[in-house]
Amino acid sequence: MDGGAEVELVGVTRRFGARTAVDEVSLSAYPGEVLGLLGPNGAGKTTTMRMLVGNLRPHSGLIRVGGVDAAVDPVGVRRQIGYLPETSSAYPEMTVRSFLEYCARLRRLPRTTRGAAVSRAMRDAGLQGHGPMRIGALSRGYRQRVGLAQALVHDPAVLVLDEPTAGLDPRQRVEVRDLVARIGRTRTVLLSSHLLSEVTDLCRRVAVLDNGRLVALEEVAVLTARVGSRLELRVSGSAQRAAEVVAGVAGVDAVEVRGQVVVVTGTARLTTAAVAAAVVSAGIGLEEMRTTGGSLEAAYLRLVKH
């Protein structure tokens, strides 16, 4: 097992007919980590997650969870994983507690521990006081919490979440995101999301898939640093002249003029000192300079641009 990794995929491949959906993907995720899984539609994210949770078998490669080989002991792997698919369904006529008790029975939890397991899952998912309520009467945000609770009811070491905030309003997204952050402190979480701001907030590392292949497995900070920086300069002289001067500074990729503001996009070689020196040396007044780091969105678009 890779250095204490809770989840390990090595050279995992899955085909559907002539199409290779996942092509020799290798990655590891560790206890107490929320690992982001990114990629455009059809990149292989959901197929990868379905193989990990045991809904699909890989055609080749190795999957281990908690040191257990999924090919040797698939039931043992499933016991360690909680899964919230993108489209999570629950019986709307059931109450929250009765549904979670049903899930606990499906997970073959002993009768003597089911009640405590359900109460713990409800607490972890922020459902205290909602046990007697019918699921069909809950808001979408709370129904998503029920989905989280069913994934947690057997107290798994690994949680796999496929677009957990899809379709939620901004307040509900924040609430579910906070729940995931708290849950991720004690478990290994694999999180697929199209909301890159959400991934930036929750994940230290991300795995990026494109056309079934892993194109990056890196810390978010490292990926964004590679994109470089963005500078906004407010000048008192000619903004056009300032743009022409700045364009010649090492590391500058692009320059745009917006009124008296010059927007500079550059690589990791770009320094604020060099930009400021070039503007001042040209006799142009520099009133303000603001720096913003590279974004995960910019890094992601570079990785999957083809």
Cα–Cα distance, 75 to 267 (Å, whole number):
48
Domain limits for position 242: 228-303
Nearest-angstrom CA–CA distance, 37 and 20: 18
Distance, CA of 5 to CA of 272 (rounded, Å): 40
pLDDT (average), residues 71-94:
92
User: Above 70 in pLDDT, residue 63?
Assistant: yes
Q: Which residues contact 243 (CB under 8 A, 6 or more apart)?
A: 255, 256, 257, 262
Q: Do 158 and 253 lie in a common domain?
A: no
Backbone angles phi, psi at 154, to 5 degrees: -95, 15
In a domain, 77, yes or no: yes
165 and 233 share one domain: no
Contact 152, 81 (CB under 8 A): no
CB atoms within 10 A of CB 73: 12
For the chain, give the mean pLDDT. 91
103 shares its domain with 187: yes
The least confident of 8-22, 244-258, 283-297 is 283-297
Task: Specify whether 48 is located in the same domain as 180.
Answer: yes
| Residue 25: predicted pLDDT | 97
Question: Which among 223, 250, 267 is the end of a domain?
Answer: 223
2, part of any domain: no
Strand order in 229-235's β-sheet?
252-258, 261-266, 229-235, 286-293
Pick the residue with more confidence: 212 or 269? 212
Write the pLDDT tens digit of every residue in 123-161: 999 999 999 999 999 998 999 999 999 999 999 999 999
Structural domain ending residue among the three candidates 193, 223, 253: 223
